[in-house]
Structure 1
Amino acid sequence: MPRSSSHSPIDTKSVQRYARNLVNSGHPLASSFIDGNVRLLGHGYNNQLFEIAGNYGSYVFKIYPVGHAQRLICENTMLSYLKPIGAMPDVVLAEPYAKDLRVPVLIYKKLPGQAVQAEALDRDALIQLQDLWQKIHRLPIPVDPVLREVAGPRMPTDCMWYIEKTIQSMARSEAGRDFVFQEACDQLKGLFQNLRRLDLHTGLWQAAPQCLCQADCRPANILKDEFGKIWLVDWEHAGLMDPIYEVAGFFWHPETLALPGQDREYGMRLYCEHSEDKYAFEKMQVYQSILPVQWATRILKMIDEYDEQVTQPWVTLRPVDDLWTDVTGYFQIAHKMIEEALLR
């Protein structure tokens, strides 16, 4: 069964009313709003984005679901910490509970540009991206506990644990009775067994510090403006994790698979060449063996729990056939990557 939505969709009239009340309350930000000029900008799996025109540019109202105030607090805290880097949204107001809308609201100046497609990630964009990663990953870990939460894998064994536990849960599911699904799970089990034959060099991670990471870095969260400048958005999942995993995860994300292979290799190599981690190349190589299997696992789990992805009324699911295409593609990549790793 689909999950019940966390909140009913907010409409433009409600956002207009909220903005108007900011004006009436004398909030300094509101003086720049142009009354009535509100439009729906887009949706995420959980969030709604509205744009309101202002005298000095436009603003984005990011509406979080009820009960997701902690995500707003995380995003606002992280963006404040990253402000000196200058390639992220500039927050002007954060309300964990906006009483007019009865949901958390984050307001920031709208950034220029559009979300990139993998094909638009040319060498210049990849250079900018690795430069931003290096700056973020080298930041001191702040004392604020909000930014000290673990947001992703700390080492390859975390990925292996996820794959194993997910395989076990899918074996007990209703979808597991379907022949095609069962056949895919059997193939996944074979890949996982081959992964376990590899030397994952876990000792390389023993003294490795975790770093601040976006934890959801993918093309949809990267904007590119008309001058080719790269901007990073959507920081609600930020926290501590292995930075090498974040970079490898970006290049093996489904949204990035259309990137030509030589550009993928270039992007990962560029990051490793500039990393302070002397084992960066070796770690990246380990994750390249694991991630295609991990993504195949994750997408199979999405097929297994297909209806449960409807987290909000506006969510449109990718067709199941497209998900199966992704699984098949990741299986092919995984066989190749593991075979090469076993020969090394």
Structure 2
Amino acid sequence: MSTTSFFCFGPEDSYISKSFAGLTYHVHSQSLHQLLTSGTVGEVHWASLGPIIESWVLSYKSVSGGNRIVRGVSTPPILRILLDTATPGPHFRCFLGPDHSFIAWSPNFIRWNNLPLDLEVCLQSWLTPAGWKAGPPQLVTWGSSSTFFALSTYGEIAYKFALSMSLEMKWPIFQETVEEWNAEGAFEWSDLAYISLDATTEDQFIAIRNDGTWAGSIEDTASETLEGFALNFFRLYKPRSKSKAGINTNGGTSNSNNNSNTNTQTPSPNQNGTLNNGTPHPPATTPPSQTHLRTLYDQWNKDTTSRLAAAIPIPNPPSNPRTRTPKKLQVRNQN
């Protein structure tokens, strides 16, 4: 059984994800959807979605027991030729990017095409005539504007954040996450378990560390999906339940040390205003009326509302609001 978890972003808010919670997906490709619902796919090993709807790759074990690699009709032509002759198996990996770019590897081969220049230079520097100097790639992912992240098997990393023509950062949330993790003295990038960048939408990504810390960015409506993947990446997530005291039928808190045979009696007052044990009986007090309490509450509520309203600053509207803003999600160690 394959225990590999992955999350792949696709065009128009599509995705395909596998974790210990199972396989989930929202895909626009009719051919991929038909394959996933055909009943012939037994276990998905790996999947990748390209920026074009019919550009996709699915590696799986069929219900009949054989491994297969299937791809969409718009998958890059060079990759289609490669996949038609590749030996399928659970260790096959493939990543698709903008402009028909891709990288694919298995224990028997590695091939890439049209990668961002800096990413290709990085991979070439890891590879020497004698073999992999820094180890073969473990994770390679890139998005629009040549933003990328690469991690080798030996823990070597390379990444780049793209700038716009006005030198504004195009992936600010991703950059912020990398800088925050770099600032942690005890963190090493070899402890990165998984990372994936969106090839179609800027600043959408997911990154997970071996200690359970994760960070991601996605538009608001899909935040629960991304969070569910991160929480179930290593194992099936079980929410921690807080211990609660048992409640008895009388509305009080039950105590396991109580003896059911114990009969506790309360001393009753006698006619002279003292309890039977000699303690003076407390004088009776008249509780405030409901009208008086309501008046006090209304005054307190009015004063509190006024003070809170005065303390809240009025934000200035953005000069150029985005219709879809990725939402940053970050959770510290959940193990």
**CA radius of gyration, larger in:** 2
Under TM normalisation by the shorter chain, which class is it? under 0.3
Give the alignment's TM-score, normalised by structure 1: 0.26
Give the alignment's TM-score, normalised by structure 2: 0.26
**Larger helix percent:** 1
